[in-house]
Structure 1
């Protein structure tokens, strides 16, 4: 079964390891994702995020520069294997890669602050190849407010929904411009109010690229049933996240207790019960989280397929979950 995954942080990890003087590349590495692992996992497509850790980068270099440095890693590494994987900017590119037996790689942006509130930067990143864009990461920026996740200090680990502040005026401008360009808005990491703002104002399908169900695991990074319904009604897709803290409440981010691939299936089943079979996809967050279950890397994705099949889903349903829903949305939104 083919795999289309809407989110990973592999490019960030390669860049940061090199910055520490380590050797690391895309063709083969010790990370969750490299070319050989993707081949073993039967990948059709992987979104590679330009993850800009705002609070770590500020004061060291401009955020747009950091994003461009990540993009340079993406292009230089992916072009080392042109016969195996192709960079895509359109749905036609994905189809051409499938026809030629190549996997596809698509750029996304994780942290809207990389644009510094400037639409011209958004358009420039689009020209560069960014086709999916999160409004925030874990900090407020010019575009929107995330839920309050305390990363340090006395409240470290505490999480609170942001129910009053959502998209800013500039955030609404970015939403409109993304839809005009054919860029996919991504509400993962956005606060509760911001997600409802996008649901209310979006005219085209959008995604939560790596978010799970709050009814199954109460972390505020996960989606309420009302959010799931709203995204589904807009024709959107939600990518299942493998981070233990988002799969089961007993697990934690810093030292995750063991979870199981069946926990992923629990979230899938709930999403389908609330939003229907067409709203569920994959957004593993590999290389962006500490995984602690059977899937140790991209090579192990067939284990997820087996687990979904073992829960009684039909071949057609499994196809939609693993890649069909994502490609349906890409076909509708990408130019």
Structure 2
């Protein structure tokens, strides 16, 4: 049987908006194609049918809620990031309107479940590396009102709000702490994926509400610093948050450069978290169109195969929780 999906992270919105960007952003990012290694990416502008990992056609008949991140490059200034966000999400909005018979935008968490229960598709707005808030903190409330349900504060480098693993000793900035407070007040979920360990520790001190790691795996299973330690996973679990399983090979196994990950490798991360009493805390965070993928889960079209493996290994109840119910229940609790 097929289960609904709530996938907490993809970069597809950037990819399909990229060909129509102002060339200024190509200069800042250092390349004129979203994926310099894939010339065909320059032709991907549609949401329904494309060469991306994710499309409406690849979702197929599965009821599907997708968190579409606007990924903002570390090279963009906070002011430039505002213009970039408006372009990427404006293009996504245009595509949703063009295919309104197949997908709708969730303005609030309460919009998601009815769409899934009617076997539809739904788009959820999120932000990865919300450095635009450093230019105008009032954007937190404004974008929450527009339907942004979740945001992370950094990508890999040192940023104006927080920092990633390229700056492992840098913590949450004073402005970043203010943004966290504003996000909690606006009911915008804090996403800690990409934060370094120093910033994660700061988040524990600064937050009053649950938070998530939208696309991070287990560091005990694969030692990449982008993955979560058991202690970090336990903090997210105990505070009522969720963690989205990332399909990136480098986050699945330590030797991914020489051995392609399989479904067994995805299951190892799930099994480890289940051993840590994470049955209600594990979700999906594919990172579609933001990374290379193993052939076993090379696109959204492979979701039924992944679900079948999960159902065989973990049973239908846990598979249902993993595929959508844990993440959906979290968003619904947070939105109250």
TM-score (normalised: structure 1): 0.89
1:263 is aligned to 265
Give SS of 2:68's match.
strand
For residues 34 and 272 of structure 1, what CA distance do their matches in structure 2 show? 30
SS at match of 1:6: strand
Instruction: Please state whether the residue corresponding to 2:215 is helix, strand or coil.
Output: coil
Show the counterpart of 1:237. Answer: 242
- TM-fit CA distance, 1:209: 0.1
Contact 2:19–2:43 at 8 Å: present in 1 too? yes
Q: Deviation at 1:205? A: 1.6
Q: In the TM superposition, what is the alpha-carbon distance from 1:290 to its structure 2 partner?
A: 0.5
Cα distance in 2 for residues equivalent to 1:301 and 1:263? 16
The 3-state SS of whatever aligns with 2:240 is coil
**Structure 1 residues 23 and 98, CA gap change in structure 2 (3 angstroms):** closer
Matching residue of 1:30: 51
After TM superposition, where is structure 1 displaced by more than 6 Å over at least 4 residues in a row?
none
Match of 1:309 in 2: 311
2:37 alignment counterpart: none
Q: For each residue in 1:175-226, what CA deviation from the matched residue of structure 2 results, as whole angstroms up to 9, or x when unmatched?
A: 1111111111000001101112223332222110000000111000000011
Corresponding residue number in structure 2 for 1:153: none
Task: State whether structure 2 residue 186 is matched by structure 1 residue 181.
Answer: yes
Q: Does 1:70 align with 2:88?
A: yes
Gaps of at least 5 residues in structure 2 are 22-32, 34-41
**C-alpha separation between the residues in 2 aligned to 1:107 and 1:65?**
16
CA shift for structure 1 position 100:
4.1
Instruction: Tell me the CA shift for residue 273 of structure 1.
Output: 1.5
Determine the structure 1 residue equivalent to 2:177: 172
Cα distance in 2, alignment partners of residues 257 and 12 from structure 1: 29
Whether the 8 Å contact between 1:210 and 1:240 is mirrored in structure 2 is yes
- How many angstroms apart in 2 are the aligned matches of 1:18 and 1:275? 46
Report the equivalent of 1:129: 147
* Secondary structure at the counterpart of residue 285 of structure 1: coil
Match of 1:220 in 2: 225
Equivalent-residue separation in structure 1 for 2:107 and 2:331 (angstroms): 10
Say which SS state the counterpart of residue 73 (structure 1) adopts. helix
Q: What displacement does 1:64 show?
A: 0.8
Distance apart, 1:18 and its partner CA:
4.2
Aligned to 2:71: 51
Q: Between Structure 1 and Structure 2, how many residues are aligned?
A: 315
Aligned to 2:283: 281
